[in-house]
Chain A
Amino acid sequence: MNSLWRRLFRRPLAWGSLVVLVILYLAMSLCEFLAPYDPNHLFEGHSDLPPNLIWYSPQEGLGPQVQTVALVNGVTREYVRVRGEYTPVKFFVPTDPVKLWGVIPLPFHLFGTDYGRDPAGKAQPVFVMGTDNLGRDVFSRILYGSRISLTIGFVGVFISLGLALIFGGLAGYYGGIWDWIIMRLCEFIILIPGLYLILFLRSILSDHMDTGQSYMLITVILSFVGWPGTARMIRGMVHAVKRQDFVSNAQLESMPSLVILFRHIVPQMSSILILSVTLGVPGFILGETALSYLGLGIVDPAVSWGSMINRDATSVSNLLSFPWLFAPGIFLVIVTLAFNFLGELLRDWADPNWKETA
């Protein structure tokens, strides 16, 4: 473990990736507090608004603030700034009541403006990353959307890879009757057609929960049936590794089979496992956008990065006119890269032949 930390600090990319991911996951867990608005609140008269947070004005001086804008062209959604009208951005603003994790009532958000609460009615809402065509705050939506996007990959990858490891490992290591039973089980599960399973699950689930919850559930169910392919691959690798002398050596030292399997055999496959995770996590996030095409993805009021990309950032004209709508795409890229850089570090760390370059 020590050497892993040492290596981490030597690599700015991996180190930065870790920081980014920690921040993103922290933000995800605190999104009710960090997001200034409800992800589905429609700000009338503010649709397709570009990011409006500025840091300086002659009037208010240095500090976060918002300049009031006025719509000049309702067709191209063109706004102009109104001179001399600024709304300061404040911290710990009491706004609409939200509950952290749906349980703890929060008296305020991290930041916001006096919009809706100032008697003169002049205060403007703050949109760090602009709004979409319904006037919803993109920044808040990204934060709330990360709840699904940042967890779904992990849930999916860990369930399917975990099952694949356990079943593939047992089949490969013990062989015989276990092997036979597990392989037949794999074949049976492989025969289940995935797309129809999704359709079927979706149709029975949609009555009872919103699309976010049902999508989560579908991912879980899919990963419960998605392991056999990987399990077969792992079984084959275990077969090869278990004939090696160091496994015999461990047997001679009377190590329990499970210890041998997980301490000696599974680590030999670490590069491929790490690769599965680092590719799988973004894969699951993107998979959702693909399903959205079929109308099986996440739709309002539930929100995820995939659904935002699919909804707002899939046409060139949209991107040219409203480039801030691509923000969730940037987040997705960042997360994907971060996972890959970290995965690379882990892979090198697990590689027996990799030497530290001083």
Chain B
Amino acid sequence: MNELLEVTNLTKSFQLHAGLFAQADQRVYALGGVDLTLRTGETYGLVGESGSGKTTLARTLVQLEAHERGTIRYLSSDGSAWEVRRGDRRNLERYRQEVRYVFQDPSSSLDPRMTVGDLLTIGARQRTRGKDRAGLVARAREGLDHVGLRASDWDRRPSEFSGGQRQRIALARALVTRPRLLICDEVVSALDVSVRGQILELLLDLKNRFGLSMVFIAHDLDVVAYMADRVGVLYGGRMMEEAPSRLLVEKPLHPYTKLLFDSAPGAGIRSRETSAQKLTPTRALTGCPFAPRCPLVIDRCRTEIPLPRAVGPQSGRLVACHRVEAE
């Protein structure tokens, strides 16, 4: 194994809240078997409308949610590979230092009652039982510098910062454990349009400086294409298409990707759609999840799940569609 992360057939469903009048065991199938490979040093982009399972995929990658089926294999920094599981606590702890999840909204992922200094160091302080405090503080301060915050921000609290600065704090926090992979879940969606660009540049800068790999999630295809080397398009918990970002932008093949491009940037497609909930299958899939909206739908799409197939020679493009011919 020489890929950083190898995800196969990742499956996750949620039980809908069992209220008094709720039907027993109603589920949403947020992930219906996703395959994904992440190479070392690569930025992998994930796009999809909201409700397509992007966050669920990211949270499963760091095991905030335990997956039901499938495997996540990780090639750790010492060259050993292991399977990421909830039960494997020792490895999981290390994995979570090397793979950091950056939340969408920094105002909820940073404890509002802590100072920046505490936020950056509390996790590591617990882990090291207070040893090497000075080294830790030095590293955290360095991190502040890397994300473009000032040393005097150390004693301030998140509420004293703007949204963009808060996201910088969140990034500094992620850097403290010297990660190899950042999973950035819509890290600019909660921010002002005016500061999005700066945060994206910062991400690119950090990636170069520390040689990070990255999973970059957004619902805006343009942003993802700008950031990522390869892009996966998610719909209804299934991967529709995966291709190097330049190829994808030049020539989208899957009908859903085309639709995404037509309606870019982002907002249009969602307003036409009723709600995110509708998009997530509530029954185990029997066909293509996109079939109900697909302009090219045929009977086969409803009865047979299209598997990702390589399309085009050596292009590295995978398309899961019955209607796209293998070239």
Interface residues of A, Cβ cutoff 8 Å to B: 2-3, 244-246, 248-256, 259, 263-264, 267-268, 270, 350, 352-353, 355
Q: Contact partner of A248 among B64, B93, B100, B159, CB < 8 A? A: B64
Q: Is A251 a contact partner of B111 (Cβ separation < 8 A)?
A: no
Question: Which residue of chain A has its CB nearest to the CB of B158?
Answer: A352
Q: Contact partner of A350 among B101, B113, B155, B158, CB < 8 A? A: B113
Q: Contact partner of A252 among B64, B111, B112, B155, CB < 8 A? A: B64
Question: Which residue of chain A has its CB nearest to the CB of B101?
Answer: A252
Top 9 nearest A-B pairs by Cβ distance? A253-B123, A352-B112, A245-B109, A245-B108, A246-B111, A254-B93, A267-B113, A353-B159, A245-B103
13 A-B contacts, Cβ less than 8 Å apart?
A246-B108, A250-B122, A250-B123, A252-B62, A252-B101, A253-B96, A254-B92, A254-B127, A255-B122, A255-B126, A256-B126, A270-B113, A352-B157
Q: B105 on the interface (CB 8 Å rule)?
A: yes
Q: Is A254 a contact partner of B122 (Cβ separation < 8 A)?
A: no
Q: Give chain A residues whose Cβ lies under 8 Å from the Cβ of B111.
A: 246, 250, 264, 267
- Assembled-state Cα–Cα distance A305/B73 (Å): 69
- CB contacts under 8 Å to A, within B251-272, are none
The interface residues of chain A, by DSSP majority, are classed as helix
Q: Is A251 a contact partner of B158 (Cβ separation < 8 A)?
A: no
Q: Give chain B residues whose Cβ lies under 8 Å from the Cβ of A352.
A: 112-113, 157-159
Question: Which residue of chain B has its CB nearest to the CB of A247?
Answer: B111
Question: Which residue of chain B has its CB nearest to the CB of A244?
Answer: B108
Q: Is B123 a contact partner of A245 (Cβ separation < 8 A)?
A: no
Q: Is A254 a contact partner of B62 (Cβ separation < 8 A)?
A: no
- Assembled-state Cα–Cα distance A268/B155 (Å): 19
Q: How large, as a class, is the contact surface on chain B?
A: 20 to 34
**Within the complex, what minimum Cβ distance (angstroms) separates A274 from chain B?**
13
Q: B132 on the interface (CB 8 Å rule)?
A: no
Q: Give chain B residues whose Cβ lies under 8 Å from the Cβ of A267.
A: 111, 113
**Within the complex, what minimum Cβ distance (angstroms) separates A1 from chain B?**
11
Question: Which residue of chain A has its CB nearest to the CB of B62?
Answer: A252
Q: Give chain B residues whose Cβ lies under 8 Å from the Cβ of A355.
A: 159-160
Given A254-B126, A263-B122, A352-B157, do A249 and B109 touch, yes or no (CB 8 Å)?
yes
- Assembled-state Cα–Cα distance A268/B93 (Å): 26
Give the residue among A3, A252, A256, A353 with the most B Cβ atoms within 10 A: A252
Q: Is A252 a contact partner of B96 (Cβ separation < 8 A)?
A: yes
Question: Which residue of chain B has its CB nearest to the CB of A263?
Answer: B122
Q: Give chain B residues whose Cβ lies under 8 Å from the Cβ of A246.
A: 108-112
Q: Give chain A residues whose Cβ lies under 8 Å from the Cβ of B177.
A: 253
Question: Which residue of chain B has its CB nearest to the CB of A246?
Answer: B111
Q: Is A253 a contact partner of B126 (Cβ separation < 8 A)?
A: yes
Q: Is A259 a contact partner of B103 (Cβ separation < 8 A)?
A: no
- CB contacts under 8 Å to A, within B240-255, are none
Q: Is A251 a contact partner of B64 (Cβ separation < 8 A)?
A: yes
Given A245-B108, A267-B113, do A255 and B123 touch, yes or no (CB 8 Å)?
yes
- Assembled-state Cα–Cα distance A252/B111 (Å): 14
- Assembled-state Cα–Cα distance A267/B115 (Å): 13
Q: Give chain A residues whose Cβ lies under 8 Å from the Cβ of B113.
A: 267-268, 270, 350, 352
**Within the complex, what minimum Cβ distance (angstroms) separates B172 from chain A?**
13
- Assembled-state Cα–Cα distance A350/B115 (Å): 11
- CB contacts under 8 Å to A, within B60-110, are 62, 64, 92-93, 96-97, 100-101, 103, 105, 108-110
Q: Give chain B residues whose Cβ lies under 8 Å from the Cβ of A353.
A: 112, 159
- Assembled-state Cα–Cα distance A175/B100 (Å): 27
Given A246-B108, A352-B158, 16 more A-B residue pairs with CB atoms under 8 Å apart are A245-B108, A246-B109, A246-B111, A246-B112, A248-B103, A249-B109, A252-B100, A253-B122, A253-B124, A253-B177, A254-B126, A255-B122, A255-B126, A264-B111, A270-B113, A352-B157
**Within the complex, what minimum Cβ distance (angstroms) separates A175 from chain B?**
15
Q: Give chain A residues whose Cβ lies under 8 Å from the Cβ of B124.
A: 253
- Assembled-state Cα–Cα distance A267/B112 (Å): 10
- Assembled-state Cα–Cα distance A259/B105 (Å): 23
Q: Give chain B residues whose Cβ lies under 8 Å from the Cβ of A264.
A: 111
Question: Which residue of chain A has its CB nearest to the CB of B160?
Answer: A355
Q: Give chain A residues whose Cβ lies under 8 Å from the Cβ of B160.
A: 355
- Assembled-state Cα–Cα distance A350/B111 (Å): 12
Contact indicator per residue, chain B 172-186, by CB within 8 Å of chain A (1) or not (0): 010001000000000
- Assembled-state Cα–Cα distance A259/B118 (Å): 13
Question: Which residue of chain A has its CB nearest to the CB of B155?
Answer: A3
